[in-house]
Structure 1
Amino acid sequence: MKHNRTEGKIESASDLAAKMFDDIYQLSQDKAGVSRPAFSAMESETLDYLAAQARAEGLCVSEDAGKNLWFCVPEHIDTPTYTVIGSHVDSVPMGGNYDGLAGVIAGLMVLIEARRGHRHLNKAVKVLAMRGEESAWFGACYLGSKMLTGSLPESEFNAAHKGDGRALHSHLTELGIDTAPIGAQKPIYDLSRIDAYLELHIEQGPLLVERNLPAAVVTGIRGNFRYRDIHCIGQAGHSGAVPRAYRHDPVLAFAELMHRLDSTWQHLLNTGKDLVLTSGVVGTDPNSHAISRIPDEISFSLDVRSQDADTLEQMRDYLKDEMNDIARSRGVTFDAGAQVSVAPALMDATVVKDLAQVMDQVTGEAFKMASGGGHDAAVFAQAGVPSGMIFVRNRNGSHNPDEAMDIADFMVGVDILSTYMETAS
């Protein structure tokens, strides 16, 4: 987590960014990684630190009705419309330091470089440091941006904190936030003032590392449908005494289902479709399973994601048909339980095109990719705000203490954002 930098006055943008990452890491360090819980005192301390750094660089700082922070250069403080560069400052428990935070610091670096006279902003820019994006704390994600856009469901407004069990609205009230408009699903920010929303984020997979690229332009954020606890129910038996023809084996039924899904996944990829699917939780009952026992039941999760709503609908239908077919052929039953779904969010086509042109100018190669993880940009896009994203190369995934973003790659992302704002019309 340490970065080389000169002692004393920080002069370069990369040194200043490294210092800010280091300082916030020290501020929010946990037994492993960092912990900045949503709507917590630690989250507030992080925002206070960012505010102090911004003011030291001559930037203006303000707070909205959701206790999020806004930053701008003095000449843009009263501008009627502007582009927003934003992200969140909370983290998962014992997570990495860059998920979310990199987007906020990137926006600040755009402003600081402009304030220092090193870059010119052709359009007004405001940077947004949001609270409460991670689902780890209240079981729901994008809480801060949903509050801003008036799209926070009642169930999430009343969601219980994983630690103290208190409802979200109680934590908001404790911070001094007026919860009346939030509970009524009214926007607490005038979205008509935002002409575009941009977000820089670390990549949460291996694609940029494998392709040896520092950054990418995001084309869209995959939607998904999920089953948290599917049960495949068969019939228990002795592993040595029941012939294959007489078995009702839920484990083999599950294996066959996953094989069929995997084959269809490959077929869709071969035809140019976007899809990923995962069964991250699988198990037989530990109270009854044994090496010599045919299990009577297996439970598993299923997470299916795509940028394309039609592909998701196709996979819903396919999953139902395959479960029914396997159930008939193997003498088992599938109980899928409740489905949870999120619609895909495509980034604005013009913003994607312009960001790609800038990336080609900055790096010599415009690479575009989908985002498998969700981000606040999806909420703004679904609220009608033209949105775009930049990914920065990051090793070892995210939501873990081993996130590894190089400052040099981060500054490439900052360069793309600054150049975009210099050429924006």
Structure 2
Amino acid sequence: MTLPAALAAEAPRAAAMLDRLGAIGADPPGITRHAFDERENAAHTLAVERAQHLGLEIARDAACNLYLTWPGTDRAAPRVLLGSHFDSVRHGGNYDGAAGVVAALAAVSALRATGFRPRADITIAAFRCEEAVWFGLGLVGSRAALGILPPDALDRRRADTGLTLADHIARCGGDPAAIAPGRRLLPNGPIRCFLEAHIEQAPSLIEAGLPLAVATGIPGNIRHAAIRITGEDAHVGLPRRFRRDAALAGAEIFAALDALWAEEEAAGRAMAFTIGRFHTDVTRHEITVVAGEFTFSIDLRAYDAAHLAALDRRFRDILDATAARRGVTIDPGPRSAAPVGPCDPALQASLAAAAARMGIATMPLGSPASHDAANFAAAGIPTGLLLIRNAHGSHNPREAMDAADMMAAAATFAEWLRAEAAA
């Protein structure tokens, strides 16, 4: 069977798997697959069922990451690792993360149908808890796999259950005691490269009319989940000069960050910031009370480590200046960070060439979002990322990836493996 014919035969199976994942996560108006909980477990079980049908080796690590391996003829050769994640944000869409695992499985299935035999092991990974919404820390599974999970991570509590990350890992059959900084959990042996496919989180490919992009890099980020501003509660008639208004301090910080973004954009330096939480204390705020407390979150991201560090300094300067000007105190709270992930130039070129051989048009594009791939790139493992066209962004119920575009990613991976991993 030719590779195009095998991919065509695989397409309905891949679409059906996406439908089953949607049913697992159904949570109107969107999809919720909780990290380290029944729905993420069910998604992993579905992947295992497909792997068993394909005759793949199945393994899990201490953090409950799943590895599905097609054995190569030379088990000592550096393996090719592909993968993504199954967890979602609350009331998100069906494709963020999941499309990457399904595309990798489709690529392997199609290659097997052609009679192809890989020289090195090809392993598909489904990493746990990529989304930061669950424990205030993103990319948890891949960080644990690479031995770079922060020491305090296992004590973080999931907001909806109150249980720690260690508790949830143990409940899913993992071994939190075996997770430690510097201790890798990945399958034994060297890794040639890591490849990931993920829906795009901006409308760039919709705008360009293309199904795929080959990512040039993944931004690093700095996050504070709960920055607390403390001023002083007061009567609404209090003159401005006497106020220590925490809400106005928050608004001033927001405006200053927006001005910073405009300045950086004008200078051609790509970045983004997002304030997702922005509120007074709902148990105390009143229409006739000046807010003495205010809380907000921030995600600050850029594509260059030095640029990200400079932006972090500018952000802290904004906090200090606002605190002094408004007469408030600002506690930034816990800080988390994800590394900048430069995509390997040779992989960018070979993935684009593989897509072209399959008749798939691509474009180079920086990823607007963080992904598990960033951890592998930061660890020095050559990394490639395909971005799949997706309407309406992600982290919302309106994700609208076409299954044919996901199969374009699968075709690109299959052709790349055919050319680069032959026995």
State TM-score, norm by structure 1: 0.83
Q: Does 1:157 align with 2:154?
A: yes
- Residues 108 and 127 in structure 1, CA contact (< 8 A), matched pair in contact too: yes
User: Paired residue for 2:373?
Assistant: 377
Q: Write the distance in 1 (CA, Å) between the matches of 2:237 and 2:242.
A: 12
1:319 to 302, 310, 315: 315
Q: Write the distance in 1 (CA, Å) between the matches of 2:181 and 2:328.
A: 42
Q: What code does the residue aligned with 2:184 have?
A: P
User: Paired residue for 1:337?
Assistant: 332
Listed one character per residue, the Cα deviations across residues 217-275 of structure 1 (whole Å, up to 9, x for unaligned) are: 22222222233344555667666673x67766555554444333323212212222121
**Offset at 1:410?**
1.0
Q: Does 1:310 align with 2:306?
A: yes
Q: Write the distance in 1 (CA, Å) between the matches of 2:281 and 2:37.
A: 37
State TM-score, norm by structure 2: 0.83
1:43 to 15, 40, 47: 40
Secondary structure at the residue paired with 2:179? helix
- Residues 205 and 211 in structure 2, CA contact (< 8 A), matched pair in contact too: yes
Secondary structure at the residue paired with 1:83? strand
**Offset at 1:120?**
7.8
User: Paired residue for 2:100?
Assistant: 103
Q: What code does the residue aligned with 1:194 have?
A: I
**Offset at 1:45?**
3.1
Q: Write the distance in 1 (CA, Å) between the matches of 2:294 and 2:170.
A: 43
Q: Does 1:387 align with 2:403?
A: no
- Residues 150 and 181 in structure 2, CA contact (< 8 A), matched pair in contact too: no
- Residues 38 and 91 in structure 1, CA contact (< 8 A), matched pair in contact too: yes
**Offset at 1:314?**
1.8
Q: Does 1:144 align with 2:141?
A: yes
Q: What code does the residue aligned with 2:57 have?
A: V
**Offset at 1:108?**
0.8
1:70 to 67, 71, 82: 67
User: Paired residue for 2:409?
Assistant: 413
2:17 to 5, 14, 20: 20
Residues 263, 146 of structure 1: alpha-carbon distance in 2 compared, 3 angstrom cutoff: closer
Q: Write the distance in 2 (CA, Å) between the matches of 1:289 and 1:39.
A: 35
Q: Write the distance in 1 (CA, Å) between the matches of 2:289 and 2:155.
A: 44
User: Paired residue for 1:4?
Assistant: none
Structure 2: runs of 5 or more not aligned: 1-6
Q: Does 1:127 align with 2:124?
A: yes
User: Paired residue for 1:223?
Assistant: 220
Q: Write the distance in 2 (CA, Å) between the matches of 1:161 and 1:331.
A: 34
**Offset at 1:406?**
0.3
Q: Write the distance in 2 (CA, Å) between the matches of 1:359 and 1:352.
A: 11
Residues 37, 231 of structure 1: alpha-carbon distance in 2 compared, 3 angstrom cutoff: closer
Residues 38, 82 of structure 1: alpha-carbon distance in 2 compared, 3 angstrom cutoff: same
Alignment of 1:220-299 (within 5 A): 220-232=217-229, 242=239, 251-285=247-281, 295-296=291-292, 298-299=294-295
Q: Write the distance in 2 (CA, Å) between the matches of 1:276 and 1:202.
A: 19
Q: Write the distance in 1 (CA, Å) between the matches of 2:277 and 2:42.
A: 36
- Residues 191 and 385 in structure 1, CA contact (< 8 A), matched pair in contact too: no
Residues 29, 382 of structure 1: alpha-carbon distance in 2 compared, 3 angstrom cutoff: same
- Residues 114 and 121 in structure 1, CA contact (< 8 A), matched pair in contact too: no
Listed one character per residue, the Cα deviations across residues 267-292 of structure 1 (whole Å, up to 9, x for unaligned) are: 21222212101222223455665656
Deviates more, 1:202-211 or 1:74-83: 74-83
1:166 to 160, 163, 167: 163
The structure whose Rg is larger is: 1
Secondary structure at the residue paired with 1:371? coil
Q: What code does the residue aligned with 2:417 have?
A: M
Structure 1: runs of 5 or more not aligned: 1-9
**Offset at 1:81?**
2.0
2:200 to 190, 198, 203: 203
Q: Write the distance in 2 (CA, Å) between the matches of 1:149 and 1:355.
A: 24
* RMSD after superposition: 3.3
**Offset at 1:86?**
0.9
Listed one character per residue, the Cα deviations across residues 133-191 of structure 1 (whole Å, up to 9, x for unaligned) are: 33344443323222322222332223334444333334433444344432475212246
**Offset at 1:377?**
1.2
